[in-house]
Amino acid sequence: MTRVALVLITSLASLASPALAQTPRAPLKNVAADQIVREITYCRGEYRLTMASGDERRVRELNLRFKTDATAYGPERGKPVLLPAGMQGDRVQVIFASLDDLKRFLVERCEGVQR
């Protein structure tokens, strides 16, 4: 078999793989209050996320990803959404409607922490 034929067969086989099949995206506009982020503060390598439900979650900086989604599937402006991101449950992502939202929400503040 020629090298070109082998590459072609391998490429076609990978396209048919169920592991590569994409699942449909769920819209992020109507999510529960415990997924809507109200405030994000950063202090000494840790982000504190305050949710619309009033709950608070702390995440180490390397375990948090920030993304934007301006498509019809993205969150409402001013209501970023928290979603799981890692396979082991240790990582999360916050998805913003725009870069302006991201800039507005991120605040560095260390309350009650001695420096």
Query: In this predicted structure, what is the pLDDT of residue 33?
Result: 96
CA distance 77 to 28: 11
For the cut 70, the answer to whether the pLDDT of residue 16 exceeds it is no
Range of the domain at 32: 24-108
For 37, the 3-state DSSP assignment is strand
For the cut 70, the answer to whether the pLDDT of residue 7 exceeds it is no
Instruction: Tell how far CA 11 is from the center of its chain.
Output: 30
More confident residue, 84 or 112: 84
Total domains in the chain come to: 1
For the cut 70, the answer to whether the pLDDT of residue 36 exceeds it is yes
Query: pLDDT tier at 13 (50, 70, 90 boundaries)?
Result: low
Helix (H) or strand (E) holding 4: helix 3-15
CA distance 89 to 38: 22
